[in-house]
């Protein structure tokens, strides 16, 4: 595996890999787990070679968020990626991505405004900016992202369409279903912040979401099912619920009744100091 830490080394490695065949990109912030490895394995089915990036992107963290505490374990991540046959790891220091004087930001309106966009102002500008840079730097034929960050996926697809990105083009941005622990909790690098008691309580999140979806399938109205979901989370040990809503799966426009378009239940809730997100299809 080639490990590039500066833009010159990256460009050379990308040139060589692209001359030899197609290239898939899996962008990450490291602290890899089975969910990331699933993305890598899926990426190998779509291209001749896989590039991964590890970059804890400061621009997508708010001033009171966990940028400094975010887990960093480059040596271990490197071993895991090597084990999965990744051809190129791009692991730049911050000044390679944001050199002095960096002044550009990409804002995707609409899809980035509700949900995590409302409770984390600026977050999706940071995501869109860094992902656009990664696409330009690596020019992958396809790029893979976890569906766990459903809104992020919608923002990136919108950006790719709006900016006429050709590598990867919007349809070549592939969402991979959420990988879950045996008890149903969605895998996340932030799960390691949970104490054993919080970890046990966290399973209330997917369970309550499934119960809400089942109630809706049996005819419950959305508002009642969502109120029940919120109450179950708080009774189950969550400190607060940032949002628990149903929206059009593509536009993320709120939905209050079933319709023709696919719908998604999206939830963010805090347990102790940790904010967990999850989403599931409705219907
Ligand atoms: O999902 C993530 O890990 C990050 O938001 C991403 C896409 C790597 C951008 O920093």
What confidence tens digit (pLDDT) does each residue in 82-94 have?
Answer: 999 999 999 999 9
**pLDDT of res. 5:** 98
What confidence tens digit (pLDDT) does each residue in 130-156 have?
Answer: 999 999 999 999 999 999 999 999 999
Superfamily for domain range 2-176: HUPs (3.40.50.620)
What residues pair up with 266 in beta bridges, in sequence order? 245, 279
The domain over range 189-282 is classified in CATH as 3.30.1300.10: yes
Which residue ranges are tagged as binding site? 29-36, 60, 146-149, 152, 179, 187-190
Nearest CA to ligand 1 atom 3: 28
Q: How crowded is residue 30: how many other Cβ atoms within 10 Å of its Cβ?
A: 22
Nearest CA to ligand 1 atom 6: 28
What confidence tens digit (pLDDT) does each residue in 65-118 have?
Answer: 999 999 999 999 999 999 999 999 999 999 999 999 999 999 999 999 999 999
CA of 219 from ligand 1 middle (Å) equals 37
Q: What is the pTM (predicted TM-score) of this model?
A: 0.97
CA of 260 from ligand 1 middle (Å) equals 31
47 near 140, Cβ under 8 Å?
yes
Instruction: Please say if 36 is a catalytic residue.
Output: yes
Domain boundaries, the chain: 2-176, 189-282
130 Cβ below 6 A of ligand 1: yes
CA of 153 from ligand 1 middle (Å) equals 10
SS3 letters for 195-234?
CHHHHHHHCHHHHHHHHHHHHHHCCCCHHHHHHHHHHHHH
189 Cβ below 6 A of ligand 1: no
Q: Given strand 142-146, what is the order of strands in its sheet? A: 2-4, 88-90, 49-54, 23-28, 142-146, 173-176
pLDDT over 90 for what percent of the chain? 99
């Amino acid at each position: 595996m080639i490990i590039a830490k500066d833009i010159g080394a990256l460009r050379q490695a990308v040139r060589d890999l692209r001359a030899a065949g197609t290239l898939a990109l899996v962008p990450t912030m490291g602290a890899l787990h089975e969910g990331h490895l699933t993305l890598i394995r899926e990426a190998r089915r779509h291209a001749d070679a896989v590039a991964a990036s590890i970059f804890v992107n400061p621009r997508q963290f708010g001033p009171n968020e966990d940028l400094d505490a975010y887990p960093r374990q480059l040596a271990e991540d490197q071993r895991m990626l090597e084990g999965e046959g990744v051809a190129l790891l791009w692991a730049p220091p911050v000044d390679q991505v944001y050199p002095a004087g960096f002044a550009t930001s990409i804002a995707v309106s609409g899809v980035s405004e509700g949900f995590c966009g409302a409770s984390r102002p600026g977050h999706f500008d940071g995501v869109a900016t860094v992902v656009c840079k990664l696409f330009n730097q690596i020019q992958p034929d396809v790029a893979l992202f976890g569906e766990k960050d459903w809104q992020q996926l919608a923002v990136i697809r919108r950006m790719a369409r709006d900016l006429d990105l050709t590598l990867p083009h919007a349809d070549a941005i592939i969402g991979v279903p959420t990988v879950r622990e045996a008890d149903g909790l969605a895998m996340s690098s932030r799960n390691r912040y949970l104490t054993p008691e919080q970890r046990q309580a966290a399973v209330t999140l997917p369970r309550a979401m499934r119960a809400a979806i089942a109630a809706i399938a049996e005819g419950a109205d959305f508002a009642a099912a969502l109120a029940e979901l919120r109450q179950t989370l708080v009774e189950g040990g969550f400190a607060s619920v940032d949002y628990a809503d149903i929206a059009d799966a593509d536009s993320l426009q709120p939905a209050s009744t079933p319709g023709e378009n696919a719908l998604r239940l999206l939830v963010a809730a805090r347990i102790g100091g940790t904010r967990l997100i999850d989403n599931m299809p409705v219907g």
